[in-house]
Amino acid sequence: MHPADFDPLSDLPDPSAGLAMDDILRVGGRQATAAQDAIACEQAVALEYNGIAHAALLASPLHLHELALGFSYTEGIIRSPADVLDMDVDTTPDGLVVRMRIVNARLHALKLRRRTLAGSTSCGLCGVQSLAQIRRDLPPLAEPQRPWAIGAVESALNQLRRRQPLHNLTGATHAAAWAEPDGRLAWTYEDVGRHNALDKLIGRLLRETVDPGAGFAVISSRASFEMVQKTQAAGIRALVAVSAPTTLAVRLAREAPMMLAGFARDGRCTVYSRPDYLDLESRT
């Protein structure tokens, strides 16, 4: 199904699936009031490949299939969704386990990789033992067919604020969304981890076989090196962040090349890489 066929809010989960209500005490000045508050759920999520435990993430217990697929792809464990033969999610006393069965060729590559890596977590770089392993060898991104209208970017940002039910209730989650060329948001994913939210979005793009060069990604967090690298690995040509980028993120975006914008809010943004990908005259 094409993203334009989706109800803009239809992919949002029931917020109760990612939060818990707990007793708290609100204190203001000299007054204290007992109440209940919504707290974002954070659980340990282990990823296994053919029985081999490879990664342990701290994540929101939502859209775990998309998370596992996106993580596996952006980390180079798989090269396409077809490399995953089946996937199951099990609940254990210590958390959740996503058990995947991947094709033999990718399992062999994973075993070779594990000989040099101590492990991997949601930060994207933990367990890397040398500087040479930080930067993945990724193909350069092709230029978009045409620049994105500044009006499309503004529209996507305005929608993002309304598409974060977990954040609106708890204030503790990040979001990553996919914007069509005209700025309509097709899918939005939330998670307590910004990397996880982006991996969930990329997992959805893989499932839907969306052309990653057609639209752009919008994130509610800062744009770090790992976030830009995951975006490049997915073939996305533009990343728009509500918060700031880092120096390594800017450098990688320029080398990718992709458009990287930060401080995107209130009708403004700062473009750090490939400003020619942005049409400042067009509102649509």
Higher local confidence (pLDDT), 132 or 46: 46
* pLDDT, tens digit, 9 for 90 and up, residues 49-73: 999 999 999 999 999 999 999 999 9
Give the list of residues 6+ apart from residue 178 with CB closer than 8 angstroms, or none: 3, 185, 186, 187, 188, 201, 204, 205, 210, 215, 216, 217, 218
Please give the distance of CA 243 from its chain centroid, rounded to a whole number: 15
Overall average pLDDT of the 80-89 stretch? 97
Give the residue-averaged pLDDT of 224-231.
Answer: 97
pLDDT digits (tens, 9 = 90+) for 205-216: 999 989 999 999
As annotated, the active-site residues are 123
Pairing of strands 43-49, 31-40: unpaired
Contact 36, 24 (CB under 8 A): yes
User: Of the ranges 114-123, 159-168, 252-261, which one carries the lowest mean pLDDT score?
Assistant: 114-123
pLDDT > 60? residue 266: yes
Distances (CA, A) of 124 to 71, 127, 195, 266: 9, 9, 8, 30
**Residue 22 backbone zone (phi > 0: left; psi -120 to 50: alpha; other: beta):** beta
pLDDT for position 282? 82
Mean pLDDT of 242-257: 98
- Percentage of the chain surpassing pLDDT 90? 81
254 pLDDT more than 60: yes
Is the confidence at residue 14, as pLDDT, over 50? yes
**pLDDT value for 11:** 53
* 267 among annotated binding-site residues: yes
Within 8 A by CB and 6+ apart from 11, the residues are: 186, 187, 188
Q: Across residues 253-274, what is the average pLDDT?
A: 97
Rounded-to-10 torsion of CA 201, 248, 268, 280: -90
CB 240, CB 272: distance < 8 Å: no
Q: What is the pLDDT of residues 130-164, one digit of tens each?
A: 555 678 899 999 999 999 999 999 999 999 999 99
In this prediction, residue 127 carries a pLDDT of: 45
Percent of the chain residues topping a pLDDT of 70: 88
Average pLDDT score, the chain: 90
pTM of the predicted structure, to 2 decimals? 0.90
**Residue 264 assigned as binding residue:** yes
**90 has binding-site annotation:** no
Report the pLDDT value the prediction gives residue 275, as an integer from 0 to 100.
98
